[in-house]
Amino acid sequence: MSEWRRLTVNDLAADKGIVGGPFGSSLGGKDYVDSGTPVIRGQNLGSDGKFKAEGFVFVTQEKTDKDLTRNIALPGDVVFTQRGTLGQVGIVPEEPFDRYVISQSQMRLRVNTKLTTSEFIYYYFRSPKMVRKIHNRAISTGVPHINLGILKSFEIDLPHLSEQRAITTVLGALDDKIAVNERISSTAIALADTLFASEATDLEFGEETFDSVARVAGGGTPKTSEEEYWGGDIAWTTPKDVTALRSPYLFNTARSITQFGLDNCASELYPAQSIFMTSRATIGAFSIPQIPAAVNQGFIVVIPITDNLRWWLFHEMRSRVDEMLSLANGSTFLELSRKNFKAMPVRIPEPDVLQRFHSRVNLLHENARNAASESRTLAALRDTLLPQLMSGKLRVKDAEKIVEDNV
């Protein structure tokens, strides 16, 4: 650490390199159009640190040039969430656009490249230490938020520029491998969806329903005030666990319950490879648990009567979410009842077609699951190395050897 120095974010910014979002009424829903300059919002940063170049709203080029020039973000800029989900950070990518506008809830940093790199700042702000600092410094009046003054004042321990690049190369190698695995997984699942569509297109609905080809169940929540129900070794699944997944394989859950908790709630312990589908508020998010797990009341659980029906029913359900939404009801939020789900007719192919489909798609899901599992391991390794590298406690060459043994 003797060669490291401590500077503020303001010290590391290029001239006029730190800006906030548009002021007041300069940008609002009335300004959004179908094309033009994309607006970066919190949903484009996400909780995993990856910039998501999708789901943009736009403002016209004329609006951008007239009123929003100081709020422009360019590829390579670092963007932070100012209010909302604090701790979000992302680097503006080279594609698909060459300029963006940040929303009122974002702040943009353009670094002085003689002192630091966007990648180093990005990873530094993703470290648990910095996330804690952001939350500790947040202004709690109204929606918790930080402002430009707070961002500018954050101190960063900075090694030599060459060391910064070496650190981000190590962490980037892990992120690159995770990105490759995610493409493998998403491609395999998309291909499985395509194979299902090909086999199911000409099938007619018969007498079979979800209730006749599977056991359909649900879940519940143990009493939260009973401490002895919580913190055990039984995975307890909430919709948030599932909607956060990048591929439909559930390896762990944020919360767990004890056997006593399981005995005192409406859920049973469902076997691995069951089909979990969210059934209220967000209807139609899916996961296949890789461990035995219980669920809360926001799920419909499907356990096929035969193993070779699993992937057929999984893709059948995925293909009919719009229909499920039409069957949902509720005044506070939409919910698909188990009764309505059970009564839905199901297309079932001839046994030889079903077996062939299961064999082909099972292999695709195995490849996708293995890629997702490896990504989970690599993400844990990255998150372990990140604070050690950013604090100077771990030397780059030692981290490189660890990464080399795992990538």
Q: Indicate whether 228 pLDDT > 60.
A: yes
pLDDT digits (tens, 9 = 90+) for 60-71: 999 999 999 999
DSSP conformation class of 329: B
Q: Indicate whether 302 pLDDT > 60.
A: yes
Give the pLDDT band of residue 1 (cuts 50, 70, 90). low
**End-to-end Cα distance, the chain:** 28
Establish whether the linkage from the previous residue to 239 is cis, with ω within 30° of 0: no
Other C-beta atoms within 10 Å of 327: how many?
Answer: 16
CA nearest to 240, candidates 298, 326, 165? 298
For residue 255, list its beta bridge partners: 236
Find all residues with CB under 8 Å of 241, minimum gap 6, and list them.
250, 253, 254, 287
Helix ranges (DSSP H) in 46-160: 61-67, 118-126, 128-137, 148-153
Q: Indicate whether 46 pLDDT > 90.
A: no
Rounded to an integer, what distance in angstroms lies between the CA atom of residue 329 and that of residue 104? 35
Rounded to an integer, what distance in angstroms lies between the CA atom of residue 122 and that of residue 167? 12
Give the pLDDT band of residue 84 (cuts 50, 70, 90). confident
Q: Indicate whether 146 pLDDT > 70.
A: yes
pLDDT digits (tens, 9 = 90+) for 305-345: 999 999 999 999 999 999 999 999 987 889 999 999 999 99
CA nearest to 48, candidates 167, 189, 178? 178
pLDDT digits (tens, 9 = 90+) for 254-268: 999 999 999 999 999
Give the pLDDT band of residue 51 (cuts 50, 70, 90). confident
Q: Indicate whether 36 pLDDT > 60.
A: yes
Length of the chain equals 407
Is the C-alpha dihedral spanning 390, 395, 397, 401 positive or negative? negative
Domain ranges for the chain: 5-158, 204-348
Question: From the centroid of its chain, how far is CA 216?
Answer: 28
Find all residues with CB under 8 Å of 189, minimum gap 6, and list them.
247, 248, 364, 365, 368
Find all residues with CB under 8 Å of 359, minimum gap 6, and list them.
none
Find all residues with CB under 8 Å of 157, minimum gap 6, and list them.
1, 4, 5, 6, 390, 391, 392
Half-sphere exposure of residue 334: CA atoms within 13 angstroms, side-chain side:
15
pLDDT digits (tens, 9 = 90+) for 199-214: 999 999 999 999 999 9
Topology alike, domains 5-158 and 204-348: yes
Q: Indicate whether 142 pLDDT > 90.
A: no
Rounded to an integer, what distance in angstroms lies between the CA atom of residue 226 and that of residue 235? 17
Question: Which architecture does CATH list for 5-158?
Answer: Alpha-Beta Complex (3.90)
Higher pLDDT, 242 or 1: 242
**Which CATH code, of 3.90.220.20, 3.10.450.350, 3.40.1550.20, 1.10.30.50, is assigned to 204-348?**
3.90.220.20
Other C-beta atoms within 10 Å of 284: how many?
Answer: 18
Average pLDDT, the chain: 94
Burial class (CB in 10 A: 0-12, 13-18, 19+), 151: buried
Give the pLDDT band of residue 2 (cuts 50, 70, 90). low
For 48, phi then psi, to 5°, come to: -100, 5
pLDDT digits (tens, 9 = 90+) for 337-362: 999 999 999 999 999 999 999 999 99
Local structure of 185: helix, strand or coil: helix
